[in-house]
Structure 1
């Protein structure tokens, strides 16, 4: 079966950046500028390109919030639906409590992996800057 479009491997390029950060932890090959650039790339990947679920609010029923389960790119942007594209930064985001705001970060395995990879990458970069 032939594949269409670009390879599915390239949608995970940010995890390669995380691997470079983790492997550089033991040596002194990188300077502060390289660590800052790698963390910037990792942040861009996690916020705008990591394959995750949309997580935008579909409806509120009796205090229960239902989130969208469509595929999305990044933790900030929504899915293909026009209303979900920037809903995470819109009016609904500002009216929710912190617990409801962060549910989208843990909405599925892909979102958990993206969130944890950025946290680990940031910690590794801070350690690399001060070694």
Structure 2
């Protein structure tokens, strides 16, 4: 049976926004407002909707921190577990060093792709605004 609702391809809509940012760099007809909107959409996608691993802290054993490997949406939000939903802004997040904080955004290929596309898209948008 066919599944109802949106296709699985729809969850990657932010990468189309990134492609639009790249393609629009060569076009002088697009103004800075369009770049600002596209960068805003890309940041919303990366932070709240990109399919990534959760990366929330499961437990600390000695000096080693173990991260959650459940599927999640966005680099900020956690997985289906209630404790992981907003843990990155909780007490555990503020008590860690930068190395442990940023380790969660590099937990898998999809998280790396989301992080790099967010950075590259933001830089591309800034270049587009000031060209």
Normalising by structure 2, what TM-score? 0.96
Deviation per CA, 1:26-80: give whole Å up to 9, x if none: 1112111111100000000000000000000000001110000000000000000
Q: Give the ranges of 4+ consecutive aligned residues of structure 1 lying more than 2 Å apart after TM superposition.
A: 1-5
Alignment of 1:36-115 (within 5 A): 36-115=36-115
Consecutive unaligned residues in structure 1, runs of 5 or more: none
3-state DSSP of counterpart to 2:76: coil
* Cross-structure match for 1:5: 5
Q: Distance in 1 between matches of 2:29 and 2:59?
A: 50
1:127 equivalent in alignment to 2:127: yes
3-state DSSP of counterpart to 2:77: coil
Q: Distance in 1 between matches of 2:125 and 2:48?
A: 20
3-state DSSP of counterpart to 1:66: strand
Normalising by structure 1, what TM-score? 0.96
Consecutive unaligned residues in structure 2, runs of 5 or more: none
Question: Considering only aligned residues, what root-mean-square deviation do their CA atoms show, in Å?
Answer: 0.9
Q: Distance in 2 between matches of 1:20 and 1:38?
A: 8
Q: How many residues align?
A: 131
